[in-house]
Amino acid sequence: MPKLRVAVAAAVLALLVSVGVAWRRGVDSAEADRYGGALRRLSALDARSNEAVLRARFGLSTDYDQLVDTLDETRSLIVRAHQVPRFLDADGQRQLALAANEADTAQRAKESLVERFKSENSVLRNSMRFFPVEAARLTELFLADPADGKLATDLRLLNADLLLFGLFADRELGERLELRRSQLVGDAKRAGRAEQVAILDEHVAVILARNPVVDGLAGAILSARTAALIEVLDASYGRWHAQAVSRATQTRFVTLGLALLVVLLAAADVIARQRRAATELGLAGEKLRRALAELEKERERERELIEMKSRFVSLASHEFRTPLSVILSSTELLEEYGGAWSEERKRQHTARIGAAVRGMVEMLDAVLTIGRSDAGADRCAPEPLRVPELCEELVANLRQSAGERHAIELASDGDWAEATMDPRHLRHVLTNLLSNAVKYSPAGGVVRLTIARAADRATFRVSDAGIGIPADDVGRLFGRFVRGGNVGAIAGTGLGLAIVKRSVDACGGTITVASVVGEGTTFVVELPCPRGGIA
């Protein structure tokens, strides 16, 4: 007995030490979010500064306020990047500090280029604005005298080439401008108009000299290593943050094991002492069994939570990477070539960005819906509802997006007068079932929604002729992040049917499924539909 109590005391001491280690190794979520958010913001600001430089280069902005504000915010975030989170180990803090220094150095070099660009571009823009006005005035003056018709022609040709040179400063165009400039000056001298074109010639000289310099500075700014170094810093932080989380998780598991050991040793001590009284032996054993059962349940719940978190992180990284790649590529293309593209081509890339954003929003809405359901905040709120009209709206929307390979049919039966249902939950159920029916019927075919009402119950049947669901997957089909084993490359989150099940349960209904692989699937949902609604 004394030995057992010594073991309990030693286990408690080890547990206290483990708790202290866990506290030191704990990951500060708020600090982690702030630091990670600062790095992500740095990437966005780098892209914004490049955009501002391009706009200034082509005269699309009249000042540098946005560029200055962006660089100021970037500078403050670079300072924040030096404040490495304290929960990282020494190696992680050292590597992140080095990466932050490299990013800082590159950013300072870029800021220096930007200052030179602003100075050179301001002079160039001034001449580019002045030249067309003065050229137009002189052209009108020369046209008034038939003897100066040649000078008017020279001015028009020079003005046209100079406008092109302002956009594309290639060598051949520059050489042609020098020839036109020389021709204009020579013709002006011969016509006695040298003084009138002198100031204009000075601005041409400024444009010819400054335009290549501004182009070179803009190119150097856009090709600066800041974006790559910020990405390296962000990736490095992601790795070290993951290691810190893993280390903290391991420490928690050790703490949990020690806590379990303390409980077991304490229980054993209780049992040993309770053996003195035979009448209390059964009670002590029962208490111990219940305690162990509860601990096992807690461990099982924790394993499920860890597994669910892992699946969600994997899903989010995959489902977000693709639309983010679409957004990034389309944005870069618009930034690089948008000025030369047609409006139709720009609209195509804008539509791609919008579709990617909508896909991300839909997945976030699904996750939030699951979260509200798990928190018990997603309750059923019946109200008067025109059910057939709602179904017609959903089917019409699906027809627009499904394409010509799918035929979407709707059939209604029964008396739907004075129906009372929750429209939000009904939309969740039918939207997910119908969209799944189209998605998992890649070869096309008929998707049919049949609705019927009898007494105070409504039945909704959704059927397709798609790939079907393997029998082994049917039993777990309504779990979170669960998908059939035969979906192949068909995209999906595994949340749609989980949302359907929670909406059906919230409304007190039932759902059944019948499926044959390769032939199709039918879902049948029954929901309460009492009278008292719209006549």
Residue 398 located in a structural domain: yes
- Cα(181)–Cα(191) distance, integer angstroms: 15
Residue 1: predicted pLDDT: 55
Residues 378, 425: Cα–Cα separation, whole Å: 9
Same domain assignment for residues 486 and 505: yes
The enclosing domain of 391 has a CATH number of 3.30.565.10
- Do 391 and 520 share a domain, yes or no? yes
Residues 177 and 119 in one domain: yes
For residue 523, is it within any domain? yes
- Quick one: 163 and 118 in the same domain? yes
The domain boundary residue, chosen from 187, 206, 222 = 222
pLDDT at res. 433:
92
Q: Is residue 68 included in any domain, yes or no?
A: no
Tell me the Cα Rg of the chain. 36
- Total domains in the chain come to 3
Same domain, 410 and 513: yes
β-pairing verdict for 510-516 and 383-384:
unpaired
Residue burial 148-164, b: 16+ Cβ < 10 Å; e: rest = beebbbbbeebbebbee
Within 10 angstroms of residue 272's Cβ, the number of other Cβ atoms is: 13
Q: Could you give the CA distance from residue 103 to residue 101 in angstroms, rounded to a whole number?
A: 5
CA distances for 303 relative to 256, 296, 300, 308, 525, angstroms: 13, 10, 5, 9, 32
Asked whether residue 387 falls in the same domain as residue 521, the answer is yes
Please state the pTM of the whole predicted model. 0.43
Distance CA 366, CA 493 (A): 9
What is the domain range of residue 389? 383-528
pLDDT tens string, the chain, 535 residues long: the values are 567 667 767 767 776 765 565 555 567 888 888 888 988 988 898 899 888 888 887 778 878 888 889 989 999 989 888 888 888 888 888 998 898 899 899 889 888 998 998 888 888 788 778 878 888 888 888 888 787 778 888 788 887 877 777 666 677 777 787 888 888 888 788 878 888 888 888 888 788 778 888 888 888 898 888 888 888 888 888 888 888 888 878 877 777 777 777 777 776 766 767 666 656 666 766 777 886 777 777 776 666 555 555 555 555 554 555 566 657 667 877 777 777 777 787 777 676 676 556 556 555 555 655 665 555 556 888 999 999 999 999 898 888 877 788 899 999 998 898 899 999 999 989 988 998 888 888 888 899 999 999 889 999 999 999 889 898 888 788 877 777 777 876 777 777 788 888 899 989 999 999 999 989 999 999 999 998 755 4
Q: Are residues 347 and 403 in the same domain?
A: no
3-state helix, strand, coil in the chain (%, to 5): 70, 10, 20
- The reply to whether 362 and 488 lie within a common domain is no
19, part of any domain: no
**pLDDT attached to residue 429:** 92
| Within a domain: 55 | no
CATH code at position 193: 1.20.1440
Of 325, 347, 374, which closes a domain? 374
pLDDT value, residue 327: 75
Residue entry with tokens 């039945």: 459
Same domain, 210 and 341: no
Distance CA 16, CA 441 (A): 57
- Is 235:96 a contact under the CB 8 Å cutoff? no
Determine contact, residues 158/151, Cβ cutoff 8 Å.
Answer: no
Same domain, 350 and 449: no
User: Are residues 342 and 467 both part of a single domain?
Assistant: no
Is there a contact between 516 and 477 (Cβ–Cβ < 8 Å)?
Answer: no
Distance CA 99, CA 233 (A): 6
**Does residue 364 belong to any structural domain of this protein?**
yes
Can you tell me the distance from the alpha carbon of 482 to that of 496, in angstroms, rounded to the nearest whole number?
9
Q: Is the distance from CB of 82 to CB of 97 less than 8 angstroms?
A: yes
d(CA 137, CA 220) in angstroms, rounded, equals 37
* Integer Cα distance of 304 and 308 in angstroms: 6
Residue ending a domain, choose from 173, 190, 222: 222
460 burial via Cβ count (<10 Å: 0-12, 13-18, 19+): buried
In whole angstroms, what is the distance from residue 78 CA to residue 70 CA? 12
348 and 402 belong to one structural domain: no
